[in-house]
Amino acid sequence: MIEEKNKYLSASLYDELMEGRPDLKTCLEGIMFISEKPVTVYEISKILNLEKKLVQETIDELQDEYIKNNRGFIIRKIGNGYRMYSNPSLKDVLKNFVNTSQKAHITQAALETLAIVAYRQPVTRQQIAEIRGVKTDSIVINLVNKGLVRESGRLKVQGSPILYRTTPKFLEMLGLKNINELPELNIKED
Amino acid sequence: MNEIYKTGQNSGFIIDFDYFSGPVNILLDLVFKKREFIYEIKISEIIREFISFIDKNRNNTLEELSGFVYIISIMLDLKSKSLIPSRNNNVLQEDKNDNLNILRQREDEYRTFRQISGYFSELLENEEVYFVREAPVEEEFLDFFNEVFNKIKAKDLQDIASGLLSAKQEKFNIVEFYNKKITKNIFQEIKRIKNVLQSKDNISFKELTNEYDELIDIVIAFLSILELYKNEDIDIEQFEIFGEIIIKKFAA
């Protein structure tokens, strides 16, 4: 039975790991290591049944430790949550290791559409088209499919057009903590 | 009136329809004087006549030809705007300067968002130094795969794909539609709708048109409703897409 459980670990190492009661830092590392999206302080505090303040302080300590010790990974705050990323100094090493073609390619038209949604949200496709001067239906649908934009109710006017907002994935893609991090718009309006 | 506008009368191209006979610039002048006249004009017919005219008269100058294109584009603009419901928007009396200001404002707005998209590009570039564990299956599809794909067989997918890819029969015949004899006009229909609304506070579009067999009659009824809405004679409500359209008396 033990052999089956530990076929990738020696019995002594498995026993050693199982004996030590995991402390909060170990738990946080484990949770963030397996997570495929940013995990919030609230989610962690709920799982571990701990105060949010304690969880937040420990994440901050871990963040500092990784940077001070020049580890291969770092913790970044993205949107409302935290996620493990590779150390940016490993860029050249990892680009040959990771299939970079998997990175999302965003066209200029899609970036302009995203910019309008980000600043004017919630916004309809018609309102986006008015600013860009061209129809943007397929671009918006594409952005929805990519998870960067989502539907957010309907505008209460004739025809009830769908309203759109940006998603946490949009913040994640641009490395933003929240939407307020975007610079202020400078448009002359009469 | 600028020079290119005047050239419409010198091109030698004369329209000869039941509702009007003369040069196109005079027709446009009439439209400016009597806005309802735009509904009578069939721009596609004028363009068709003009194409046949230039086929026969190859010696027309570029200035004369562009004069026609200019006038027709104004008419197209007026016609399309007259069909869109928009309150407090007297299309034919629009101040050109206002339009120019709106255009400039939109250009400024677009330019700003273009700059922002450049900023987004920079942020994306900054993100290229980070690598992160990617999800093997997008979260939104996890349930989809479990709930749907487990129950679907290859044969089901084949049937769905065959259905989608097979050629669809075109039910709507546009030529037939245009050749149909029109028995009423928008003004008569507007009068009828106003009469109906005298005896009741609201009526659905379906009820309003349930005696019409011809598609063209339903189209005329719909255009009449847009015109009534624009003139603040009625209010329109539609609670869901493709849902019933409710026409109500306008409550000021």
Whether residues B150 and B192 share a domain: the answer is no
Judging contacts by C-beta atoms under 8 Å, the chain A residues touching residue B114 are 112, 115
Interhelix angle A125-132/A137-145, nearest 10 degrees: 120
In terms of domains, do B113 and B61 share one? no
Q: Is the N-terminal amide bond of A122 cis, ω within 30° of 0? A: yes
Which chain A residue has the Cα nearest residue B106? A131
Residue B170 falls inside a structural domain: no
Please tell me whether residues B83 and B107 are part of one structural domain: no
Helix axes B62-83, B24-33, angle to 10 degrees: 30
| Residues B15, B80 share a domain | yes
When pLDDT is cut at 50, 70 and 90, the band that residue B9 belongs to is: low
Shortest distance, CA B74 to any CA of chain A (angstroms): 19
CB distance A159–B241 less than 8 Å? yes
Helix axes A125-132, B96-127, angle to 10 degrees: 100
Residues B60 and B37 in one domain: yes
Of the residues B116, B229, B240, B250, the best mutation for testing chain A's interface (the one with the most A CB atoms within 10 Å of its CB) is B116
Q: For residue B41, what pLDDT is reported?
A: 82
Task: Please tell me which residue, A75 or B12, carries the higher pLDDT value.
Answer: A75
Of the three residues B71, B89, B107, the one that is the final residue of a domain is B89
- Evaluate whether residue B73 is within a structural domain: yes
Partner-chain residue, chosen from B85, B124, B140, that has the shortest CB–CB distance to A106: B124
Q: Are B77 and B64 in contact (CB under 8 A)?
A: no
pLDDT of residue A124: 93
Nearest by CB to A174, from B85, B114, B123: name it. Answer: B123
Is the ipTM here above 0.85? no
**Given CB atoms, is A146 within the 8 Å cutoff of chain B?**
no
CB contact under 8 Å between B113 and A88, yes or no, is no
Across the interface, whether the CB atoms of B129 and A91 are under 8 A apart is answered yes
Identify the CATH number of the domain in which residue B193 sits: 1.10.10.580
Per the domain annotation, does B174 fall within a domain? no
Where among B120, B142, B165 does a domain terminate?
A: B165
**Phi, psi dihedral angles at A85 (to 5 degrees):** -125, 160
Looking at the domain assignment, is residue B171 inside a domain? Answer: no
Q: Is B7 a residue whose pLDDT tops 60?
A: no
| Chain B CB within 8 Å of residue A105 CB | no
Task: Give the residues across from B194 on adjacent strands.
Answer: none
pLDDT of residue B138: 58
Q: A101 — contact with chain B (CB < 8 Å)?
A: no
Sheet holding A123-124, edge to edge: A123-124, A162-166, A149-154
pLDDT value of position B241: 72
Residue B187 lies in a domain: yes
Instruction: Look at A65-79, B50-64, B166-180, B233-247 and tell me which has the smallest mean pLDDT.
Output: B166-180
Residues 6+ apart with CB under 8 A from B147: none
> What tens digit of pLDDT does each residue of B181-221 get?
788 888 999 999 999 998 888 899 999 999 888 888 898 99
Number of compact structural domains in chain B = 3
pLDDT in tens, B87-96: 554 544 555 5
Tell me if chain B has a CB within 8 Å of the CB of A145.
no
Amino acid at B112: T
Question: Is residue A110 within 8 Å of A129, Cβ to Cβ?
Answer: no
**Closest C-alpha among B71, B91, B69, B95 to residue B82:** B91
Smallest CA–CA distance from B118 into chain A, residue = A111
Confidence band of B67 (pLDDT split at 50, 70, 90): confident
Please indicate whether, in this complex, the C-beta atoms of A115 and B116 are within 8 angstroms of each other. yes
Q: Does B112 reach chain A within 8 Å, measured CB to CB?
A: yes
Flag whether B78 is in a domain. yes
From residue A85, alpha-carbon distances to A37, A82, B56, B139, B208 in Å are: 11, 10, 72, 19, 63
Q: Which of residues 6-65 of A touch B (CB under 8 A)?
A: 35-37
Beta-sheet strands, E only, within B44-116 = none
Q: Is A99 on the interface with B (CB under 8 A)?
A: no
CA distance to partner chain A, nearest, from residue B217 (Å): 22
Sorted by where each starts, the structural domains of chain A and their CATH numbers stand as 2-95 (1.10.10.10), 104-181 (1.10.10.10)
Tell me which of B120, B141, B165 is where a domain ends: B165
- CB of A98 within 8 Å of any CB in chain B? yes
Same-domain pairing of B81 and B9: yes
Of B44, B50, B39, which Cα lies nearest the Cα of B15? B50
- Beta-bridged to residue A163, according to DSSP, are A124
CA distance, residue A46 to nearest chain B CA (Å): 21
Strands A149-154 and A39-40: unpaired
Contact B113 A174 (CB under 8 A): no
- Where helices occur in B180-246 by DSSP H, the ranges are 186-199, 205-209, 215-230
Same domain, B70 and B144: no
Shortest distance, CA A190 to any CA of chain B (angstroms): 8
Q: Return the exposure string of B187-218: e unless at least 16 CB atoms fall within 10 Å of the residue's CB, then b.
A: eebbeebeeebeeeeebebeebbeeeeeeebb
User: In terms of residue numbers, what domain contains B19?
Assistant: 3-89
Return the number of CB contacts < 8 Å for A and B.
90
B198 occurs within a structural domain: yes
Q: Confirm whether pTM is higher than 0.80.
A: no
Together in a domain, B107 and B129: yes
A149 touching B, CB under 8 A?
no
pLDDT in tens, B96-124: 556 667 777 777 888 888 888 889 988 88
Per-residue pLDDT of B124-182, as tens digits, reads 888 888 888 776 655 555 555 555 566 677 788 788 888 877 766 666 777 777 777 78
Top residue of A34, A36, A37 to mutate, by most chain B CBs within 10 Å, is A36
Q: Is residue B173 domain-resident?
A: no
Residue-wise pLDDT tens digits, A108-147: 889 999 999 999 999 999 999 888 878 888 899 989 988 8
Tell me what pLDDT residue B31 has: 81
